[in-house]
Amino acid sequence: MAPAGALQHSMIPLYSVFKCPRTPLSFSQNCLRGFLLRSGVDEAELQIRKGRGARLVTCAVGVPAKNWKGDPNTPQEWQWTPNRRPRQPGEKRKKIPFPKPKKERVLLRPPLDDTRLAEKLLSSPQLTLTNFPLLSACLPSAPLNQHDEAWMEEFLLEAKDALGLASFTPEEGSPAAQLDTLLYLAFQHPDSVRARKAPYVRKAHSRLAFLGEYVLELAMAELVLQMFPRELVGSLRERVFGLTNKKVLPDWLKNASMDRLIYPDGDWGEIKWSDKLKPCKSVFHAIVAAIYLTLGMPEVYRVLFEAFGFDVDAPQFQPRPRVCEDVDHLSPELDGERLSWQDIAYYQPPEEALFAEPRLFRSCVPPGMHRFRQNLWELESLPVVERTLGYPQPVRDDNPVLESARNIELQLGLQLCFLHPSAHKAEHPRFCNERLEYLGSKVQDVIMAEKILMKHLDAPGAWIEERHRRLLLNRLCGLYLRNLKLHHHIVYSDERRELYVKSRKLRNFSTTGVSQAIHGLAYTVYGRPDVRRIMFRVMNFEQLESPIE
């Protein structure tokens, strides 16, 4: 048997094996003496150690009971867990992730003092164009530096050549003089080098992309409404979505040879297709906004169809077939051959035209609406609607016959705005407010986007997009109409009226559609100023601004 010293050094303390708290152990004298004698220590040596007062260190090995839980303050890893699976050879210890503190996202900068604020405003390019407030609101908040000018010297001529504007020379003091600056900002998507280093470049690009998305939707809505006057609105939406969704935008930019401008330091083919979607979408919309602000809507159509190669007759962009035959006649301009994009882009209304957009009005309000004159709705509801909306608006005409004809068409258009699709769409597909609603929703988006951009000069595109979405919620658009007590004049079928009486939530969509149809009618008859009047004076679209913050 090994001596006591060797046995003492070979034993392991209990607290180091089971990681339990170290507690003092005590044994009786007889038990300790018997243990030492059996270990090879004779009686004489035991007396010598006892006489010298040597302290005997006792070590023991034990196994805790299965029901032992330890103190409440004992760590979890010290406690007994019989159901815990032992780690396999080579298996790593499972790491417990520690929650990271959430950082508050601050979109707007804190307010500056008066001196710094005055210096910033005086040096900002946004105050240089007072005659063009919308264009000025889309310029960067700080002057461009030498790094921005270096990019423009290297790539701007190539970008203008791809858009067909290489030989274009703008006039001094016109909106087109800012074309170079806006085109430079259009290609600085969030993944570009300049956008990551310069916040004012990144913010200006996001504001351009925000505006360009709604301008593109309005341009395509006006195009398909005049080009396909007999198609249903569902088919028109599918056709526009096929041409402008984010999955096909990289192909349009590739066809225009703009891939090197978007990724000048990388190969277009080596980048993942999923990684291209978001940058290409923002660049495409920003290009549309830059052309719209400087050269106007006709140039937007030209760039879409000539530079990018839009094709509305492509097989992959055709809508699914719908069985709904339109037997009503159209106006002579729309009933002949199908209009081309050149006819729509460069159309000039005649001098004695009744409306601001005569062809667009006739594509939404069919001539057959004259059969509904002198009906019950026109006698009871029309005076209330006209008085609430402030119609007809005063227009200076040399010929009183034109004013009378315009007022008659306006009354028929108002009646069509309040005509729900459940009433006469089955017999006459164009006798409903769907086409005016489709146009009005796009006009409403553009008008609100322009106002928010001019109102919040220091806000980035993400913040503006969120505010735009909150102000134009469907339930709020219908609420604006219900506050005017105009929802009682909507014409439903008998079955739909019984359904709406039982469910108020279903009725909200119809009030929203009527509100948007009124905006579409105002746009085609009197133009954009009347849409702004209805949105911000009659319906007061920002009256519920505080509850939705």
For residue 378, what pLDDT is reported? 93
For residue 41, what pLDDT is reported? 56
pLDDT one-digit tens code per residue, 259-272: 889 988 777 778 88
Average pLDDT over residues 124-129: 81
pLDDT one-digit tens code per residue, 381-430: 999 999 999 999 988 887 888 999 999 999 999 999 999 998 888 888 88
pLDDT of 543 above 80: no
For residue 27, what pLDDT is reported? 47
Q: Cα dist. 47→43, 44, 52, 502 in Å?
A: 6, 5, 9, 103
For residue 45, what pLDDT is reported? 59
Q: Where are the beta strands (DSSP E) in 30-189?
A: none
What average pLDDT does the chain have? 83
pLDDT of 64 above 80: no
Average pLDDT over residues 57-66: 48
Least confident of 11-15, 472-476, 493-497, 534-538: 11-15
For residue 400, what pLDDT is reported? 86
pLDDT of 541 above 80: yes
Residue spans per domain, the chain: 116-347, 352-548
pLDDT band at 76 (very low <50, low <70, confident <90, very high): low
116-347 and 352-548 have identical folds: yes
Higher pLDDT, 223 or 141: 223
Average pLDDT over residues 462-471: 92
pLDDT one-digit tens code per residue, 281-325: 999 999 999 999 999 999 999 999 999 999 999 999 999 988 777
Least confident of 40-44, 264-268, 493-497: 40-44
For residue 15, what pLDDT is reported? 47
Burial pattern 97-136, b for ≥16 Cβ within 10 A else e, equals: eeeeeeeeeeeeeeeeeeeeeeeeeeebbbeebeebebbb
Give the whole-number percent of the chain exceeding pLDDT 70: 79
Give the whole-number percent of the chain exceeding pLDDT 90: 51
pLDDT one-digit tens code per residue, 142-200: 889 999 999 999 999 999 999 999 888 888 888 999 999 999 999 999 988 888 899 99
Average pLDDT over residues 20-31: 50
Tell the burial category of 186 from Cβ atoms under 10 Å away from its Cβ (0-12, 13-18, 19+): buried
What architecture does CATH give domain 352-548?
Orthogonal Bundle (1.10)
Say if CB 13 and CB 59 are below 8 A apart.
Answer: yes
pLDDT one-digit tens code per residue, 205-234: 999 999 999 999 999 999 999 999 989 999
Higher pLDDT, 295 or 502: 295
The pair of structure tokens assigned to 364 is 């939404």
For residue 204, what pLDDT is reported? 94
Q: What is the CATH number of domain 116-347?
A: 1.10.1520.10
For residue 109, what pLDDT is reported? 62
Burial pattern 354-386, b for ≥16 Cβ within 10 A else e, equals: bbbbbbbbbbbbbbebeebeeeebeeebbeebe
